[in-house]
């Protein structure tokens, strides 16, 4: 009888949410998140500088502003930048303290990114395939290896300055797509954005299940 009571008490304790202070402390320790919102101008993020500043603002609001935050975005053309070279060396944990990757190689290999772990800075799950509205298209402008995509096709909305013409390579934060192919399950390189205006407006991004969200990583 005593053991049964102990089990019931333990189960009740496990079901009690973390105190607000404890939850805030977890968020302060996070080193990775999906932006809970974009700047609102589609693929125009204000370039890498604007995207980094957006990461920093959201992190600060969640209590993690003491870290240096960088957007996981590649650029193209002269002086092209690889997303993987911008984000430090890891490890990275989400707002609930769950490690999503221990290193750059693991991040671009067998990582722990799923719908349940690719959380926003508010520790919220991003709506994905099957949810309304679907917001799983995450801007990256990158190939599966985290590097810029070669060729003449625009995959970065003119290096994150266009909300009209161009397109952006996106990944699926929930690792789900129309089938079980590697691109459909890719967190960073699933397909280019597209829409009636080209691919970079806020409306275009919504067409295939996006909202102008992107990944942010702490470099320290």
Give domain status of residue 134, yes or no: yes
Cα–Cα distance between 55 and 73 in angstroms, integer? 12
Residue 14 falls within a domain, yes or no? no
Domain extent for 140:
31-218
Give how far the C-alpha of residue 153 lies from the chain's centroid of Cα atoms, to the nearest Å.
23
Q: What is the CATH number of the domain that holds 171?
A: 3.10.100.10
Terminal-to-terminal C-alpha distance of the chain = 51
d(C-alpha 176, C-alpha 179), whole Å: 8
Asked whether residue 21 is domain-assigned, the answer is: no
| Confidence (pLDDT) at 196 | 80
Question: Into how many domains does the chain fold?
Answer: 1
**What does the buried/exposed string (b/e) look like for 122-158 if buried means 16 or more CB atoms within 10 Å of the residue's CB?**
ebebbbbeeeeebbbbbbbbbbbebbbbeeeebbbbb
Residue 189, pLDDT score:
98
8 A C-beta contact, residue 136 and residue 127: yes
- What is the spatial distance between Cα 184 and Cα 209, in angstroms, rounded to a whole number? 13
pLDDT in tens, the chain (220 residues): 444 433 433 444 445 554 555 555 667 689 999 999 999 999 999 999 999 999 999 999 999 999 999 999 999 999 999 999 999 999 999 999 999 999 999 999 999 999 999 999 999 999 999 999 999 999 999 999 999 999 999 999 999 999 998 999 999 999 999 899 999 999 999 999 998 878 999 999 999 999 999 999 999 9
In angstroms, what CA-CA distances link 64 with 82, 126, 185, 212, 218? 24, 19, 29, 22, 9
- On whether residue 137 sits in a domain, the answer given is yes
Count of helix runs (H) and strand runs (E) in the chain: 6, 8
Residue 20 lies in a domain: no
Exposure letters 67-78 (e unless 16+ CB within 10 A, then b) = bebbbbbbbbee
| Residues sharing a CB contact under 8 Å with residue 6, sequence separation 6 or more, in sequence order | none
Within-domain flag for 1: no
């Amino acid at each position: 009888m005593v053991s049964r009571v102990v089990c019931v008490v333990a189960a009740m304790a496990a079901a009690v949410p973390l105190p607000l202070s404890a939850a805030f402390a977890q968020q302060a320790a996070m080193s990775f998140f999906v932006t809970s919102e974009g700047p609102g101008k589609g693929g125009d993020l204000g370039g890498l500088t604007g995207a980094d500043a957006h990461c920093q603002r959201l992190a600060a609001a969640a209590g993690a502003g003491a870290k240096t935050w960088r957007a996981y975005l590649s650029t193209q053309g002269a002086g092209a930048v690889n997303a993987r070279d911008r984000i430090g060396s890891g490890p990275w944990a989400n707002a609930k303290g769950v490690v999503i990757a221990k290193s750059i190689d693991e991040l671009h290999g067998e990582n722990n990114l799923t719908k349940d772990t690719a959380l926003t800075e508010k520790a919220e799950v991003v709506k994905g395939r099957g949810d309304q509205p679907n917001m799983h298209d995450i801007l990256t402008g990158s190939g599966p290896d985290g590097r810029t995509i070669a060729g003449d096709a625009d995959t970065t909305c003119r290096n994150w300055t266009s909300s009209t013409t161009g397109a952006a390579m996106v990944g699926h934060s929930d690792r789900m797509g129309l089938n079980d192919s590697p691109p459909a399950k890719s967190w960073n390189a699933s397909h280019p954005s597209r829409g009636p205006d080209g691919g970079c407006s806020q409306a275009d991004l919504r067409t295939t299940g996006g909202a102008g969200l992107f990944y942010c990583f702490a470099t320290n």
